[in-house]
Chains A and B, each alone.
Chain A
Amino acid sequence: MKAIAGNTGPKVRSDCEISIELKKSGSNEIILNSKVKPLYGDSIISLCKEILAYFEISNAKLIIDDSGALPFVIAARLEAAIKKLVKTEKEYLPEIIKENKYSTKPDEFRFSRLYLPGNFPKMMLNAGIHKPNGIILDLEDSVAPAKKDEASYLVRNALRQVDFYGAERMVRINQGDHGIEDLKFIVPHYVNLILIPKCETADYIKQIDNEIDKIRKDKNIDYPIYYMPIIESALGVENAFEIATASKNVVSLAIGLEDYTADLGTKRTKEGTESLYARTRLVNACKAAGIQAIDSVFSDVADMEGLKENVCISKSLGFDGMGCIHPRQIEVIKDGFAPKEDEIEKAKKIVVAFIEAEKKGLGVVSLGTKMIDPPVVKRAQKTIDLAVQLGKLDMDWLKS
C-alpha cells in the first residue's frame, strides 16, 4: 500500500512531496531529500515522527522530497498521504497562531480580493504583505481534480498558521455537494468569508447555512462567517436577489464572467457589452438587499492600463470591488475604487454646506446656486467616510 501527496520538481518551492508505504512489520523509516537538510533536517524528521505516532502508524516508509516546505505544509502533505491509506476521523491540527483569530465586519472593505491556488503553498506565505482587502484560498478551479483532497488539508493548515496580516481570510469552496464537504476543513479554523462558486439558488445557501450551524454546534464556534456567492450563470443572474437575501450571512455577491459568458454561448470581450445586463442586474439586486456587489477578475495581468479602465467602469456601474489574480493588481484596484481627490473635495464642500444649513436651521441645502438633495448629501458623507478610512483624508478635516 502506497500513497503520495504534495509537489516536487525543479521549479517547486516551499512545498514537498511525501510518499508513504505501509509495510507489514518493522518500524518507521524516513528518507529525507532536502536542500535545507543541514538546517532543518532534524526538525522535519521529528515532525514526521510525531505525526506518524499521532495516527498510530509504526511501520511506514516515508520518502520526503522537500523544497523548503514550512512545517504546516509538511504536516498537510503527510496527513493527506496517510488518509489515502488509513481511515480515521482524527485530524493533526497545527497550532492556530494568535494573529489569525480575528473577525471581520459584514461591510468590510472588499475592493480587492487576491485569489491564491489552494494547493500552492509558496504564494500563501507572502500574500498578506501586498495588503489586499481579502485573501482567497481557492479549492475550486485552480486545483486539479486529483489534488482536491490534499489541497483541503493544506488550506486548513494555512488558515491556522499563515499570517495574512489582517486581510480578510476567505476560502472558495467547490461547487455543489463537494462544496458542502469542504466546509468541515475551513469552518473550525477562523475563516472569515466563504466564496460559493456557481451559485444558482437560494436553497443552496440554506444548505450551507445548515451545514455550518451543525459544525458550529459540534465545535462550539461563535465567530461570524460570511458568504460571497459567485453568480456565474444565466439562472444565477435571474435569482440574484433571492440569493442575496437567502441568509443574513450573505454580505456580497460576486460575478464570474468567464463561466457566465460561456453559459450565454458568447465570448467575454474587453468592453463587456455581452455582460452588461448581468452586471447591472447583479448590482441592482445587491443594492436592493443592502449588500456589496463585486466584479469579476481582470485576467490580463500585464495590462495595467486595461485594468485601470476596467476598474473605472466597474465603479461607475456601482460595484464595490473586484477580484485580483496578481498582487500587482491590488494597488490599481484600490486606487480605482477609492474616492478621487476632486470627488473628496466636492464631498467636503457638500458636507460643509449641509452643516452650515443645519446650524442656520435651513431646511434646504444649497451650494452656490445649486440646490442639494438629501441623497447627494448622503453620498457625499459616504465618500468622506471612505476617504477617512483609506487614509486619504484626516479624521479631523472639518476642524482644519
Chain B
Amino acid sequence: MKFVKNAVGRLIPEEINGKPVIPFKGVGKHRPEGRKYAPQISTCADYPDDGNKLQPSLKEALIKSRLKNGMTISTHHHFRNGDVIANQIFDIAKELGVKDLVWFPSASFPCHQHLIQYLEDGTIHHIEGSMNGPLGRFATKGKMKGVGVLRSHGGRYQAVQDGDVHIDIAVIAAPTADTFGNATGDRGPAACGLLGFALADSQYADKVIVATDNIVPFPCIPWQIHGNYVDYTVKVDVVGLPEKIVSGTTNITKSPDRLLIAEMTAKFCDEVGIVKDGFSYQAGAGGTALSIGIYFAEMLKERNIKARFIRAGSNKYPVQMLEDGLVDYILDGQTFDLEGVRSMRENSGHINTSPFTSYNYHGKGNFASMVDVAILGATEVDVNFNANVVTHSDGYLLHGIGGWQNCLASKCTILPIPLFRDRIPVIVDEVTTLCGPGELIDVIVTERGMAINPRRKDLIEKMKGSGLPIKTIEQLKDEAEKICGKPSKPKFGEKVIAAIKWVDGTVIDVVREVID
C-alpha cells in the first residue's frame, strides 16, 4: 500500500477498503465536481394504494429489501445507548447467513458491543461510524476485517449525498409512525425528540424501513421523516429505551475544577464582546459546556438581553432558557434528555434540524458557520492548536466525531479542557489523531490558564489588559508536562484500522492498530 502526505502532514493510504482516497488538501481547498448521487426512480405502481406498507416483522422487511452479502446497512443513534434495532438487524443477518455487511450507523454506543461477535464471525465486514468502548478496543487491536471510517455528522450527510457511501438498506427506528412510513421522534411511548440523522438515509438509500412501537392512523404529524421515501413499515414491541438516551453527561458539572474552566470561558466570551443581544452559541452536552450555558443565562438575565439562537444538543438547561425568554430559538440536532423531547413537542421556538441544514459542507452554506461561538471538547490539543476527539493518548478509539468538525466553522471556537486527565496531559506536542486543523481552533481554556491561537490577532488585541490568565499554548504544554511528566508514545503497528474523514470527504488522518 502506498501512502501520501496530506496537507496537515499525515500519511494517508491511497486506498481504503478498496476505494481510492482523496487526502485532505486544506480547509476549503477540495472542490468536488459532478452531480449529487441520485437514488433509483420508484413508481407508485409498486406500492399499495391504501398506503399500508406494514410488514409482519423486521426480518420479513429485511428479506423483502433483499438483504444480501456485502450490503451497507444504516441505523441511527436517536436513542443513543438505548438503541435496540441495530443489534436485532444483525441478529437477523446472522440467522439468514448473510456475510460481509457494512454497518453505517450515525454513531455507535456501548449497547452495540453485542455486535463484536458478528465482526468476529464475518457477518459484519467493517463499521463506517463512530467506534467507542469495546467496539473501539476491538477495532484498535486490528481485529476488524475492513478499515473503519469515521465521519462527522455533516460528513455523513455529505458522503451519502455525494455517493461516497451507497446505502442499500436504511432502518429508521421511530417512536411514532403511520403505516405509510411518515414518522416522528417527538411523541410516543419511546419519544426521543427528532430523527434528523436519518434524513439522508431516507432520501438516498435504496430501501428504507421504518420500525416503530407506536403506530398511529395516517397522517403521522409532524412527519419528520416523509413516508414517500419509505419502502416498508414494521411494528416492533420496543423500538428503543428512551430512559437511556440520557447516556451522555447531561447535568451541569459539580467538579470545582470544571466549574472554574466554565466560568473562565464565559468571562472570556463576555470580555471579547461575544455575549450581547442577539448572539448565538453552540454548547455540547458535557458538564462543562452546560455550565457555560448557565453562566451565559445569568449574564443575559442580568442585562435584560436575549440570545437569538442556541445550536444544541438540547436538554433541560437550554429548554429552561427558552422558556424563561432568554433565547428566541433552539436549533436542535439531538435531544439529550426527556425535557428536551417535551420542549420540542411543546415549544414553537424549539426547532428540529438535521445534519443537512446544520452541517453539510457540500451544500449552499450551513448553520454552523453562522454561530458566534462554539464550545467543544477534545481529548488532546497540540501546540499548533490541532485537536483530537476520536482517540485517547494511548491510541485507542474512544469517541466519534459527532458534529465536532462541523462546529469548528463557527466564528469563534473554544475548547474548554482540563490541562491533564488522570496524569495524561491534554495539551501535547503532537496529537495522536488529527481531527481538526489548528487554523479553525481559536481558544483553549484550561483550569491553569487559557491560550489564544496566534492567528486570532483580533481576540488577542481585545484581551489585552484582561485579568484572565492568558498564556501561550507552549506554556500550558510545559505546565502539563511538569506536573505529569513527559509521556511515552504508545506502540503502533503498520496496519491502518480507521480513517478520519474531514467535512469535505477527504481523509485528514488515519488510526493505526495499537500493539500492547
What is the interface of chain A, defined by CB distance below 8 A to chain B?
A: 13-14, 35-36, 38-43, 67-71, 125-126, 129-130, 163, 326-328
B423 touches A14 (CB 8 A): yes
Pick from B259, B447, B448, B490: contact of A39, CB under 8 Å: B490
Q: Which residues of chain B come closer than 8 Å to A125, judged between CB atoms? A: 483
CA distance A39 to B396 in the complex (A): 13
- Which one of B257, B395, B421, B484 contacts A38 once the chains associate, using CB atoms below 8 Å? B395
A69 touches B447 (CB 8 A): no
Q: Are the C-beta atoms of B256 and A328 separated by less than 8 Å? A: yes
* A-B contact sample (19 more), CB < 8 A, given A38-B394, A38-B395, A70-B423: A14-B423, A35-B394, A36-B424, A36-B487, A38-B490, A38-B491, A38-B514, A38-B516, A39-B393, A39-B424, A39-B487, A68-B422, A70-B483, A126-B256, A129-B447, A130-B256, A130-B260, A163-B483, A327-B260
Give the distance to chain A from B490, nearest Cβ to Cβ, in Å. Answer: 4
B485 within 8 A of A: yes
**Are the CB atoms of B257 and A13 closer together than 8 Å?**
no
Q: Return chain A residues, CB-CB under 8 Å to B40.
A: none
Given contacts A39-B394, A39-B490, contact A327 B422 (CB under 8 A): no
User: Distance in Å from the Cβ of A96 to the closest Cβ of chain B?
Assistant: 14
Contact indicator A126/B257 (Cβ below 8 Å): yes
- Residues in B neighbouring A129, C-beta threshold 8 A: 257, 260, 447-448
Those of B447-502 within 8 Å (CB) of chain A: 447-448, 483-485, 487-491
Report the minimum CB–CB distance from B70 to chain A (whole Å).
Answer: 36
A13 to B489: give the CA distance in the assembly, Å: 22
| Chain B: interface residue total (CB-CB under 8 A) | 23
A88 to B297: give the CA distance in the assembly, Å: 59
Question: How near does chain B come to A94, taking the closest CB pair, in angstroms?
Answer: 12
- Of A38, A69, A129, chain B has the most CB atoms within 10 Å of the CB of A38
- A68 to B136: give the CA distance in the assembly, Å: 21
Cα A249 to Cα B516 with chains together (Å): 56
Q: Would you call B423 and A40 a contact (CB within 8 A)?
A: yes
In the complex with contacts A38-B395, A40-B488, A328-B259 CB distance below 8 A: yes
Instruction: Give Cα distance in the complex from A36 to B488, angstroms.
Output: 10
Residues of B within 8 A of A328 (CB): 256, 259
Expressed in whole angstroms, the Cα–Cα distance for A129 and B446 within the complex equals 11
Question: Nearest A residue to B423 by beta-carbon distance?
Answer: A68
B485 near A43 (CB under 8 angstroms)? yes
In this complex, what residue of B is CB-closest to A39? Answer: B487
Instruction: Report the bound CA distance from A67 to B395 in whole Å.
Output: 18
Check A126–B447 contact: CB distance below 8 A. Answer: yes
What residue of chain A has the Cβ atom nearest to residue B256's Cβ?
A327
Asked if A39 and B488 make an inter-chain contact with CB atoms under 8 angstroms apart, the answer reads yes
Partner of B422, one of A35, A41, A42, A326: A35
Contacts of B447 in A (CB 8 A): 126, 129
Shortest distance in angstroms between A59's beta carbon and chain B's nearest beta carbon?
28
Q: Tell me which residues from 417 to 434 in chain B have a Cβ below 8 Å from any Cβ of chain A.
A: 421-424
Q: Return the 9 tightest CB-CB contacts between A and B, nearest first.
A: A68-B422, A327-B256, A39-B487, A68-B423, A38-B490, A38-B394, A126-B257, A129-B447, A36-B423
On whether A71 and B485 interact (CB within 8 A), knowing A36-B422, A38-B491, the answer reads yes
Residues of A within 8 A of B259 (CB): 328
Q: Which residues from A are CB-within-8-Å of B393?
A: 39
B172 to nearest A CB, angstroms?
Answer: 37
